Amino acid sequence: MKKIIIMMMLIAPLAAMAQKFGHVDTQSLMYSLPEFDKIQRELRAVGQQYENELSKMQEELKVEADEYDMEKATMSAEKQKETENRLNDMYNRIQQYATASQQTFEKQQEEKFGALKEKVKTAIQKVGKAGQYSYIFDKDTPLYIGANTKDLTEEVRAELKKMK
C-alpha cells in the first residue's frame, strides 16, 4: 500500500507538468471574420434608422413646443393645459421609443455577435482537442501569461477558415 501511495505521489507532479496551456486573442479572431464587417454594417444601418426616427420625433416636439411658447399668452387656460398634455405625451413617447429602440438594438447586437462568438468557441475547442490542451485562455482575461503557454490564435484562425 505504501508503494502505491509513494508511486502516486511521484506520478502526480509529472501529470501536472504534462498539461498543456494555450491562449488566444478572441477579439482579434472576431475582427478577422468576414461576417464581422457585415454585421457591423447591418447594425450601423439599424442604429442610424433608430437615430433618424428619434431625431424626427424630437424635431416635431421642438416645433410644437416653440409654437406653444409663441401662442401661450393668447391661449385660454384650458387650451394651454390641453397643449401641455399633448407635449408631455409626445415627450413620453420619445422616451419610450428611445428606451425600446436601445433594448431592441442591444438584443440584435447580442444575437448577431453571439453566433460569431459561438463559431470562434467551436474553433477553439477543435484546436484544443487536436493539440491535446488542458486549458486555453482568452488573452484579454488572465492576469498573467507565462512562457509555458502557446499562443493559439493563428491555429484557431486557420480552423475558422476551414469552417466556412
6 part of a folded domain = no
| Pair 128, 140: CB distance under 8 Å | no
E-assigned strands of the chain? 21-24, 135-138, 149-151
- Cα of first residue to Cα of last residue in the chain, in angstroms, is 55
Tens-place pLDDT, residues 88-115: 999 999 999 999 999 999 999 999 999 9
Helix axes 153-162, 77-130, angle to 10 degrees: 100
Q: What is the pLDDT of residues 138-154, one digit of tens each?
A: 888 765 666 677 888 89
Residue 73 falls within a domain, yes or no? yes
Give the CATH number, domain containing residue 26: 3.30.910.20
Q: Is residue 3 part of a domain?
A: no
Rounded to 10°, the helix 77-130/34-71 angle is: 170
Query: Would 92 be classed as within a structural domain?
Result: yes
Q: Which three cell numbers stand for residue 80?
A: 394651454
Question: Mean pLDDT over all residues of the chain?
Answer: 86
Counts of helices then strands in the chain (DSSP H, E): 5, 3
Percent of the chain residues topping a pLDDT of 90: 56
pLDDT tens digits for 150-161?
888 898 889 888
Q: Is residue 4 part of a domain?
A: no
What is the span of the domain harbouring residue 110?
Answer: 12-162
Q: Is residue 147 part of a domain?
A: yes
Read off the pLDDT band of 5 (50, 70, 90): low
Q: Confidence band (pLDDT; 50, 70, 90) for 3?
A: low
Model confidence, pTM: 0.68
Domain count, the chain: 1
